[in-house]
Amino acid sequence: MSLTILRLLFFLLLVYIHEGVHCLIFRPCSRSLSPRPNTKSRENGASALALGKISMAPVLVKFPTSQSTFSSETSQISNELVQELLLPPERRDQDRISSLAKQLVQTKVSFDPTECLDGPLYFSNVIEGPSPLWEKLGIPLISKNLQGQQYTYNSKEKSVINYAEIFGSALHLRAYGTYEQDVSSPLLEESENKENDPVSSFFQNAFSSLTPTTAQMPELLTCPIDFVVTVEKASICLGDNNRINIPISGQGYLRVLYADPKLRIFVSPKSTTDDRWEKEGLMVAQVAVDQKDPSFGLLS
């Protein structure tokens, strides 16, 4: 019997096993996407709970993939949050933004950093926490002022450019640095415990055996994950070509709570070296700048 047929039979056996036990593994369905609280819905939900009729969704097994994948529900929530953040600040519903962000954080997605970290500038929007210094740099009369970050993530380089407009792109600040996973993070121990779980290891090894050894699988990171960011230099820029170097350096701390190709949600688990820049507890949502300004190019 050929190796391909054996792999197929083994796959069918795993599906049979999974279908037999999936009813034992459940998670609650996520909250409604309605922008306003609905008292009637809550009453109906309470009645359904009393009758034991709350619908439950099975935990999905993650298959190896060449790209980040997200459920249709997660993608819908992400799209709604992006659309809300693209509105002018005075038209945004901050309660709705906070609710959508929390729903995304709860998904604890796995993502491909080459798709969801590496890329163009993502402009930042404060969701909650202490106001950062970079948010105050822009002149209020210029409503288009952008602040954000451009990450590079590949095998050769993990770098970041922090970007804050003072008077539009004509006068802005750039701070350059590098970043790496925080090896002292308490999240690492939690991740290792999950990897050592016998059930998870069984399915991971089983599906790995069905994947051709020649295939190059991507590195997937699972939220939440911590990074240390080290800023080494900074410049005040007049346009794109004229720069004045200024002495800024230090460390910041980044926890990725959610990431997809258009949207990221970060929180600061610790304050920066100079805590005027960012204090512990600051949560921001970052949207890819091409969603707001398709002509905005890569920073260098």
Specify the CATH number for the domain of residue 274. Answer: 2.40.128
Instruction: Please report whether residue 169 resides in a domain.
Output: yes
| Residue, of 51 and 118, whose pLDDT is higher | 118
What average pLDDT does this structure show over 90-98? 96
Instruction: Please report whether residue 193 resides in a domain.
Output: no
pLDDT at residue 230, rounded to an integer: 97
Confidence at 94, pLDDT banded by 50, 70, 90: very high
Confidence at 141, pLDDT banded by 50, 70, 90: confident
Please say if the pLDDT value at position 264 is more than 50. Answer: yes
| Among the listed residues 118, 49, 119, the one whose alpha carbon sits nearest the alpha carbon of residue 296 | 119
Instruction: Please report whether residue 38 resides in a domain.
Output: no
Q: What is the mean pLDDT of the chain?
A: 78
Residue 52 φ/ψ region, left for φ over 0, alpha for ψ in the -120 to 50 degree band, beta for the rest: left
Instruction: Please report whether residue 91 resides in a domain.
Output: yes
Report yes or no on whether pTM surpasses 0.75. Answer: no
What average pLDDT does this structure show over 100-113? 97
Instruction: Please report whether residue 63 resides in a domain.
Output: no
- 52 CB contacts (<8 Å, ≥6 apart)? none
Instruction: Please report whether residue 201 resides in a domain.
Output: no
| Residue, of 270 and 29, whose pLDDT is higher | 270
Asked if 250 contacts 273 with a C-beta cutoff of 8 angstroms, the reply is yes
pLDDT at residue 193, rounded to an integer: 54
**Percent of the chain having pLDDT more than 70?**
66
Q: Based on the structure, what is the number of domains in the chain?
A: 1
Chain segment 157-207, per-residue pLDDT in tens: 899 999 999 999 999 999 999 999 999 888 876 655 555 555 555 555 554
pLDDT at residue 218, rounded to an integer: 67
Confidence at 38, pLDDT banded by 50, 70, 90: very low
| Among the listed residues 79, 38, 50, the one whose alpha carbon sits nearest the alpha carbon of residue 262 | 79
pLDDT at residue 48, rounded to an integer: 38
Please say if the pLDDT value at position 47 is more than 80. Answer: no
pLDDT at residue 189, rounded to an integer: 67
pLDDT at residue 233, rounded to an integer: 96
**Percent of the chain having pLDDT more than 90?**
56
Please say if the pLDDT value at position 213 is more than 70. Answer: no
Instruction: Please report whether residue 279 resides in a domain.
Output: yes
Q: Which of 125-129, 183-187, 229-233, 244-248 has the lowest mean pLDDT?
A: 183-187
- For residue 176, list its beta bridge partners: 161, 233
d(CA 251, CA 253): 7
Q: Please tell me whether residue 167 adopts helix, strand or coil conformation.
A: strand
What average pLDDT does this structure show over 124-143? 88
Q: Which domain holds residue 176?
A: 71-183+215-291
What average pLDDT does this structure show over 44-61? 38
Please say if the pLDDT value at position 37 is more than 80. Answer: no
Instruction: Please report whether residue 62 resides in a domain.
Output: no
